[in-house]
Structure 1
């Protein structure tokens, strides 16, 4: 164990990368908002006017700089150290969104930020030294060792099974299918990126590695893995909620990347058991903080939904009441779980005609208006839809037992840092 000069360079580059990438998200989002305000068409519904917005391009350039810094960081520091630090970009984007975009940061989000920082400090303190590598052929010998060949073969087989068998059947209903594919391929892409970055670093130092075919083979692997990874990540983001995809993808991708790095580069060789356990604890704390940040975002959305859709609230009553004094009865009828989705669609179409037509609506039309205001989505009118919303809100309460475990991990990790210092003194 020890913190070398290369490790320090890698950490600085990883931190700069997280800062640039986190800031780029906010700048691009502000550019998207400005473009949507100017054209009236959002990017999410097919608008491309953001391509003419300078602020969006500034965000893209900043993101490219951040990704380049992350690429170079892998050439100086082990993946066990660089990859978990990527979670700090989430902190940067969350804090900047709070001050620039006026998106409220919940107390759970603040706790998640603190946990990410604490876990990152633990990982940095216990990070292994980067092994000295003199040529790309040396990396190739690491990549062709039996243990890593077994890992790589397992990844290829699993990806093949997920793509051929599971993706067509349950890819659009199970978030683990798409995220599993891009996480598995991502672990191989990071290993190839590290090999390619190291070869370029040696080339700039005067030891030309571009003459070796292994360098170009690693580049081919990087391009192939990144294309597959981005393809299925986009599918996951398009199919499922970002608040679900982001933490699951981060956990799987980071775990598999660390596992691949430990197998290929032998990052943990020469480290004591206590140091390795401390690294794992720091990693778990970072993962927990990341998940908590996403839970906080979803919690804010849930709170907003409940605040805006409280049955019988004064604002809703003012909007919906027609002066007949029968609002309570209408709401009670509208909330009955016996309504079918097809009936709701038929009545909704009648409601649209009624809104555009005469002000003298029938009793049935009034019920449809109330129902559409209370339950914007058709599936929410069923009993299953209502219970699903309730389960989603109540699920946040289950985060509190997890917090006690997380606090214990933080205390145990810092204790493992402090104990050797006390003994030395």
Structure 2
């Protein structure tokens, strides 16, 4: 009788391991082999550290690329435009900056496989903070009271965000089966319908009324960017599960998410670049940071249920942390862009860089290679922000 009972249990367990239930609880760490031996708090700390490191690399890369462009322009001014025809592509510093940029973006991408999107996205303010520090330490810019206040608010905000983030990470070690279950959520279908309607309405207003409002442009970029974040987190999670020995390459949803990631990333950069061309950085930077971060948080909460298990007080503290980051970015941006720039500051890029893709910082020089030719902003190397086109 004992042998029969044990045989029945063994058979039941074997059947349970091969069956794919219609409703799977992705929040159960016991059911997630990729999370074995790692708590959610540890995963959030690792993801946050990787995101901060990636954003620091992005900041250094922006300064390196900006230095390469301004050095080239200064040489042209000294030798004459006709005598100097060298390209920034021949400058090794520009290529170092590009490699650092790629490394930083890969870091941001990897961070999504550990920490919730609602944590990684606000940490994009690290780039703002680092650029301000570089401007003061290396470019000998004046340290403003707004810098100190903004940095203090951003650091406190980041602490609150990390400390009061979701208690359970729904997509750690994400599998294709779990991801498909998320896509079937009624709330996600509603969210997607509302977002598509909003994008279509904004597009219609911009095209038919010929409105170039920075709010509409950045709102369009951020709405699309929320799906860039969702897809990036999905791809990163699937790759992490694969690296832990549970291959997801046979899942069609993996390749669908890669396509969504690529398409939305290109569209997001397109609208963000348009906003940077048509408006001053003092307007674009803080506005886009707020829009993008809020869109990324909402996308993570709706799609990955990142606020599951949180109490109202924890959500309130998380929200306060985000608001402090927003305010910190605003203070730092205004402090530097309002100050007159000297010739010695020609290395300085935008003090604050709007997040796109996985935290990607927007610098007009980074689009020269894509569009060809030279940047229209190169003729004014001492400026840290693009002019406001009338």
Q: Same fold (TM over 0.5)?
A: yes
Larger Rg belongs to? 1
The answer to whether structure 1 residue 73 and structure 2 residue 111 are counterparts is yes
Report how many aligned residue pairs link the two structures.
299
Is contact 1:167–1:177 with CA below 8 Å preserved after alignment? Answer: no
Gaps of 5+ in 1: 42-46, 305-376, 381-425
The answer to whether structure 1 residue 203 and structure 2 residue 242 are counterparts is yes
Is contact 2:173–2:240 with CA below 8 Å preserved after alignment? Answer: no
The aligned residue for residue 63 of structure 2 is 26
State the distance in 2 between where 1:142 and 1:156 align.
18
- Closer/same/farther in 2, CA of residues 293 and 272 from structure 1, 3 Å limit: same
The aligned residue for residue 383 of structure 2 is none
The answer to whether structure 1 residue 220 and structure 2 residue 259 are counterparts is yes
- 1:133 deviates by 4.4
SS in 2 for 1:270: coil
Is contact 2:173–2:238 with CA below 8 Å preserved after alignment? Answer: no
Is contact 1:9–1:77 with CA below 8 Å preserved after alignment? Answer: yes
Aligned partner of 1:240 among 272, 276, 279: 279
The aligned residue for residue 35 of structure 1 is 72
State the distance in 1 between where 2:240 and 2:250 align.
14
The answer to whether structure 1 residue 282 and structure 2 residue 321 are counterparts is yes
- 1:143 deviates by 2.5
The aligned residue for residue 310 of structure 2 is 271
- 1:130 deviates by 1.6
State the distance in 2 between where 1:280 and 1:165 align.
31
* Cα deviation digits, residues 21-78 of structure 1 (max 9, x gap): 111121112122211122239xxxxx98222211111111111100100000001110
State the distance in 2 between where 1:207 and 1:168 align.
50
State the distance in 2 between where 1:218 and 1:70 align.
17
Is contact 1:171–1:178 with CA below 8 Å preserved after alignment? Answer: no
Is contact 2:219–2:291 with CA below 8 Å preserved after alignment? Answer: yes
The aligned residue for residue 90 of structure 1 is 128
Gaps of 5+ in 2: 1-38, 79-84, 343-386
Higher relative contact order (CA 8 A, sep 6+): 2
State the distance in 2 between where 1:89 and 1:156 align.
30
The residue correspondences of 1:328-407 to structure 2 (distance < 5 A) are none
Aligned partner of 2:151 among 99, 113, 134: 113
The aligned residue for residue 330 of structure 2 is 291
Aligned partner of 1:156 among 196, 210, 217: 196
State the distance in 2 between where 1:135 and 1:211 align.
11
- Closer/same/farther in 2, CA of residues 246 and 168 from structure 1, 3 Å limit: farther
- 1:272 deviates by 1.3
- Closer/same/farther in 2, CA of residues 244 and 48 from structure 1, 3 Å limit: farther
Provide the TM-score with structure 2 as the length reference. 0.72
The aligned residue for residue 49 of structure 2 is 12
State the distance in 1 between where 2:40 and 2:131 align.
28
CA RMSD of aligned residues (A): 2.2
State the distance in 1 between where 2:324 and 2:263 align.
32
SS in 2 for 1:75: coil
Provide the TM-score with structure 1 as the length reference. 0.67
The structure in which a higher percent of residues are helix is 1
The aligned residue for residue 290 of structure 2 is 251
- 1:170 deviates by 4.2
